[in-house]
Amino acid sequence: MNASRKLVMGIVLAWAIVATPSIGQTLPAGFTRDIVAGSLGSEPLGISVASDGRIFVALRGGTIKVIAQGSVGTLGTVPNMYIGANWGLQDVAVDPGWPTRPYLYAYWTYSTPRGKRISRFEVTGAVANPTSTSLALGAEYPILVDIYDTTTIHNGGSLRFLPDGTLTCSIGDDFTGGCLVQSVNNFLGKVIRLEVASLPTQGAGPPPMSALVPVNNPWTGPSDFARLVYARGMRNPWRTTVDALTGDLWVGEVGGAVYEEINLTATGGGQNFGWPILEGPGNNASCTNQFPPFTAPTILHDRSLEPPSAAVIVPVVLYRNQPGAPFNFGPAYEGNFFYTILQVGMWRRFQSTGGPWTLAPPVAGQPTMNDWANGFTGIFDAELGRDGAIYYLEGWPSNSVRRIRSVSPTLTLFSGDLQPVNAGTPALEALRVRYQDGQGSPLVGYPVEFAVTSGSGSFAANVVMTDAMGEAAAAFTPGITPSPTLEIRASAVGASPVFFHPQWRGLEADWQPATRTLSLSVTHSQTNSPLTIAMDLPAASPIVTAMGTVETSILAPLPSLIALDGLGLLGPPLPGLSTGSPTPTWSLTVPNFPVLGGQTFAFQAYAIDSSLAPSLTSVLITNSVLLTIN
């Protein structure tokens, strides 16, 4: 390859490229794209999503931004910046212990003395408030300084924490490293791994390199440089992403001639990816200090199939569905890997079932056989959010943070709505909902919460996990306090809540022996017929029906006001009694109730819809109340 071609391809980010006009993005069915925050400033390069949902963004000019619920704040600027060509602030990473450990880590080009460095910054302000952007960049604690830097390009520059809390940084070969990239006694063309959790909270720094060595890095010597190296043999590992489940580090390797590479640094490290001896499957150069065996790229992207300017591969994420998250991509995407090309903007999706990583089969609405999505340009960095969406930086034309998410999940009523329920008696039918993702697939093992929003009642469990069909069923018992507007809400993360409106039928009865006063109160959701109260001896063997337990007196030939053991009392109604009302609540007080004492009676209210009589389904039945008349 001639020198001019190599130089052009060596430029990591084409800062001088005119902003590409926005074109329509195409996503598969069931996915959508949102803007999270725009107008961040020129060249947003690095993104880090905190555990509380706040997003930190590194601008190449040195400024660090924070985004919370769409609001944007400025923390400050890293000190003593050296800006020019591709130099500048490359990335930022939030401490995994945030906000208890209120630290950000930055990788940038330092002016005096010249060199790249990694530093920790304490963040001050409203660190404990996840909705606040009132944060400021505090004191710097240098961690590694004077990282070799003589040319404008091949800086590398991705900071990522592994699940064990160690910090990785990818460093380019400075376009001067040559065969030195093969040696572990320098940081050229390397991924390094640092132990930062045990660093002092105060002090000037930097610490000795020996204090940064994790207990299990792959090389034990012969130098402190070697003890920090995690993987080697790379040209310009500009962007990386981490598999949060396995701890594997996926490295995007910017190629020199034809091939862009995705190199998998498996947990434990120690890989040698062959540069400058190898690029892709071909031999690019020879060095006397070769250290095979070389690890082959996990994924190769043939740049000759793209426009000439397509020179920078960006690993997006190794996708993992997040527990209880609203925008999960679903089981079909679990463990899939996505990457894009900075200047082309298509998204490729790969999967593995234990063997080689291959293009995943196309899904509905995918724009081409190879491209899971396309039409995206200027994606500099990406991270997986706690909500299951992929957050990414769009450098041009918008200088914004955006996200790709599944269409919002849906929660729908499945059964149990509008059923008759009696106070204090378990509902005959469970309240059941169905939870589905944007593609209509069941969301299995997710919590659905049931709560009474009007009226009263209890659940066997008010938080229920969805089953294999995405359904959650709650066993409900109405309370003994009547409510004509009983309402129950079911809710799940990311979905609009749904509401049940069972038909309430409640009876309350009270006996005051001193005044021989019987007080009755009936509340119901709806009926077009007057209510009648039946009084029965419990020995009269109630009948269980599809609508509830029925006292036998209700089955008397006529809807008599008071019945005893199924026999209607003859004669006119007792003074002061009436047959009730179709209004939602009816109260009745009977003084000097003429019944012999010492017996326990069952009271139940009912109404008969004359349009359905004499069918049993015409009977509106309340709960039965036992009352001892003394």
586-607 per-position pLDDT tens digit: 777 778 776 666 778 788 877 6
pLDDT by residue (tens digit) across 8-55?
Answer: 223 232 222 222 333 467 999 889 999 999 989 989 999 999 999 999
Q: To which residue do tokens 């923390």 refer?
A: 75
Ordered by start, the domain boundaries in the chain are: 410-501, 512-629
Cα–Cα distances in angstroms (integers) from residue 269 to residues 216, 231, 317, in the given order? 9, 6, 19
Rounded to 5 degrees, what are φ and ψ at 303? Answer: -70, -20
Confidence (pTM): 0.75
* Res 185 pLDDT > 70: yes
**For residue 483, what pLDDT band results from cuts at 50, 70 and 90?**
confident
pLDDT by residue (tens digit) across 400-447?
Answer: 999 999 998 899 999 999 888 888 889 989 999 999 988 788 888 889
Neighbours of 323 (CB within 10 A): 11
Cα 103 from Cα 11, distance rounded (Å): 31
**For residue 527, what pLDDT band results from cuts at 50, 70 and 90?**
low
Q: Kindly give, in sequence order, each residue whose CB lies less than 8 Å from that of residue 216, ignoring residues fewer than 6 positions away.
A: 268
Query: Where does residue 466 rank: exposed (0-12), middle (13-18), buried (19+ CB within 10 A)?
Result: buried
**For residue 568, what pLDDT band results from cuts at 50, 70 and 90?**
very low
The CATH class that applies to domain 512-629 reads: mainly beta
**Is-same-fold flag (410-501; 512-629)?**
yes
* Res 351 pLDDT > 70: yes
* pLDDT at residue 609, rounded to an integer: 54
pLDDT by residue (tens digit) across 294-313?
Answer: 999 999 999 888 776 667 89
Angle at 262 between CA 260 and CA 267, to 5 degrees: 155
Of 237, 241, 238, the residue nearest 383 (C-alpha)? 241
Question: What DSSP string describes 68-136?
Answer: ETTEEEEEEE-SSB--BTTBS--EEEE-TTTTTS-EEEEEEEETTTTEEEEEEEEEEESTT-TT---EE
* Res 242 pLDDT > 80: yes
Contact by Cβ (8 Å): 136, 125: yes
**For residue 615, what pLDDT band results from cuts at 50, 70 and 90?**
low
* Res 236 pLDDT > 50: yes
Give the chain's mean pLDDT: 85
* Res 108 pLDDT > 80: yes
Compute the average pLDDT of residues 267-293. Answer: 89
**For residue 7, what pLDDT band results from cuts at 50, 70 and 90?**
very low
What CATH number should be reported for the domain whose range is 410-501? 2.60.40.10
Angle at 357 between CA 46 and CA 305, to 5 degrees: 70
pLDDT by residue (tens digit) across 529-554?
Answer: 666 677 766 655 666 665 566 665 54
Q: To which residue do tokens 């590398």 refer?
A: 156
105, two tokens: 């880590």
Query: Where does residue 281 rank: exposed (0-12), middle (13-18), buried (19+ CB within 10 A)?
Result: exposed
Neighbours of 112 (CB within 10 A): 7
Question: What DSSP string describes 519-530?
Answer: EEEEEES--SS-
* pLDDT at residue 610, rounded to an integer: 52
Beta bridge partners of residue 373, listed in sequence order: 347
Cα 378 from Cα 397, distance rounded (Å): 7
595 versus 458: which is more confidently predicted? Answer: 458
* Res 210 pLDDT > 60: yes
